[in-house]
């Protein structure tokens, strides 16, 4: 889900200072300031230009390529399955553990499971979560919420740093349209209520909302709903990849209109809740103008491919093909430099400071 680099950004802290309002809460373990992102990119550009391995703040992992929903905007185009079909998930726990340990050596603070199916359908999720926390790292989980019963909610509250669950609208039809399964709204809302009952609140609980035509008129109400319950609203721009690339005008909102929606939502936050956040044209998500995953993260997908950022399309290697596995891939500084040096220039970082030996 790559977005064009944003050079000039009004950060959340700057907006708060300018208005005298409080910074809107962001998701624990899933937000990095502009300063952190830029400095990580600056250092990686300098290091990799010299052949030195990069450093990271976050690792994205994918669980089994299977989902119980058929979301039209799904960026990985996950395979639809019934829950019973996933009793025996492919065992990738050793691969995940290797990536986590290598990532920890490279400086990661967070492991996030996002995309490529519904994580709660993967039997290995439980072991993965416990391993991540055992290594002293933050664990962030995206889920569609439909499988979160009271027992699972209690377990998630105990092991996850942050849970981000889908709730695309408060009106059932709009939500069901965006997830492709009739009746899904009821289960998703129940899952969210179970997480609240288990004691989860922001910054450790968020709702993931794709901005699209079926829920466009619902967004102000959904924002107020989240704020009043102490949930972080993670409203994000629809990514035009995977199934999202095939959507028509019944779903897709023009880029400029999305910016207008963000401006309207910020107005609601400022006027009704005393909260504010930075804004930039093309920003990927509400209150997330300054967090650029490309600058600070890497991604191990379900096929074993390692990519910078999240779904960047730039494959640095495959852990199942490289003789030295994930360690060999992460230590290939020259190859990472082919990505980070141009990205640093695109982001407006002084080229003198990223030159070899600079």
Q: Where are the domains of the chain?
A: 12-350
Cis peptide before 203 (omega within 30 of 0): yes
- What is the pLDDT, as a whole number, of residue 85? 44
CA atoms within 13 A on the CB side of 256: 0
User: Dmax over Cα atoms in the chain, in whole Å?
Assistant: 59
Residue (of 241, 269, 295, 312) closest to 48 by Cα position = 295
Nearest-5° Cα angle at 138, 222 to 75: 50
Query: Quick one: 12-350 is in which CATH superfamily?
Result: Aldolase class I (3.20.20.70)
pLDDT at 342: 92
CA distance 113 to 151: 20
- β-sheet bridge partners, residue 201: none
- What does the alpha-carbon distance between residue 48 and residue 341 come to, in Å, rounded to a whole number? 8
- Alpha-carbon dihedral angle through residues 286, 8, 56, 262, given to the nearest 10 degrees: 10
pTM of the model: 0.91
The upper half-sphere exposure of residue 19, i.e. CA atoms within 13 Å in the direction of its Cβ, equals: 21
Distance CA 22, CA 126 (A): 36
CA distance 193 to 199: 10
| Contacts for 317 with CB less than 8 Å, ≥ 6 apart | 305, 306, 328, 329, 332, 335
Whole-number Å distance between alpha carbons of 222 and 237: 15
Q: Which residues pair with 234 in a beta bridge?
A: 208
The span from the CA of 71 to the CA of 108, in Å, is: 30
Pairing of strands 305-308, 317-318: antiparallel
Q: Are 24 and 275 in contact (CB under 8 A)?
A: yes
Tens of pLDDT along the chain (358 residues)? 444 444 557 899 999 999 999 999 999 999 999 999 999 999 999 999 999 999 999 999 998 888 888 888 776 654 555 554 444 345 689 999 999 999 999 999 999 998 678 999 998 999 999 999 999 999 999 999 999 999 999 999 999 999 999 999 999 999 999 999 999 999 999 999 999 999 999 999 999 999 999 999 999 999 999 999 999 999 999 876 666 566 667 888 988 999 999 999 999 999 999 999 999 888 899 999 888 888 999 999 989 999 998 767 899 999 999 999 999 999 999 999 999 999 998 888 865 354 443 3
Task: Determine the pLDDT at residue 76.
Answer: 61
Helices (H) and strands (E) in the chain, counts: 13, 11
């Amino acid at each position: 889900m790559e977005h064009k680099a944003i050079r000039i950004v009004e950060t959340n802290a700057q907006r708060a200072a300018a208005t005298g309002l409080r910074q809107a809460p962001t998701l624990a373990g899933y937000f990095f300031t502009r300063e952190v992102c830029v400095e990580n990119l600056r250092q990686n550009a300098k290091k990799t230009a010299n052949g030195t391995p990069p450093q990271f703040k976050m690792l994205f992992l994918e669980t089994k390529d299977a989902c119980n929903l058929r979301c039209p905007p799904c960026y990985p185009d996950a395979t639809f399955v019934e829950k019973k079909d996933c009793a025996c998930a492919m065992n990738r726990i050793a691969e995940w553990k290797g990536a986590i340990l290598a990532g920890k050596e490279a400086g990661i603070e967070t492991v996030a499971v996002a995309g490529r199916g519904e994580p709660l359908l993967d039997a290995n999720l439980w072991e993965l979560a416990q391993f991540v926390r055992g290594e002293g790292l933050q664990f962030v989980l995206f889920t569609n919420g439909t499988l979160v019963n009271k027992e699972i909610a209690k377990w998630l509250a105990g092991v996850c740093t942050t849970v981000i669950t889908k709730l695309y609208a408060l009106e059932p039809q709009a939500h069901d349209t965006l997830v492709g399964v009739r009746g899904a709204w009821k289960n998703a809302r129940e899952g969210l209520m179970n997480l609240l009952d288990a004691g989860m609140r922001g910054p450790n609980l968020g709702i993931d909302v794709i901005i699209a035509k079926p829920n466009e008129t619902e967004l102000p109400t959904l924002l107020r709903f989240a704020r009043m319950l102490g949930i972080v609203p993670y409203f994000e721009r629809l990514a035009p990849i995977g199934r999202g690339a095939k959507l028509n005008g019944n779903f897709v909102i023009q880029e400029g209109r999305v910016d207008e929606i963000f401006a309207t939502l910020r107005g609601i936050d400022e006027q009704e809740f005393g909260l504010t956040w930075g804004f930039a044209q093309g920003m990927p998500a509400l209150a997330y103008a300054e967090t650029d995953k490309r600058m600070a993260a890497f991604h191990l997908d379900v096929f074993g491919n390692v990519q910078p950022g999240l779904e960047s399309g730039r494959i640095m290697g495959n852990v199942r093909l490289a003789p030295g596995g994930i360690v060999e891939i992460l230590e290939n500084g020259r190859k990472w430099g082919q990505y980070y040096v141009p990205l640093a220039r695109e982001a407006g970082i002084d080229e003198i400071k990223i030159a070899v030996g600079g």
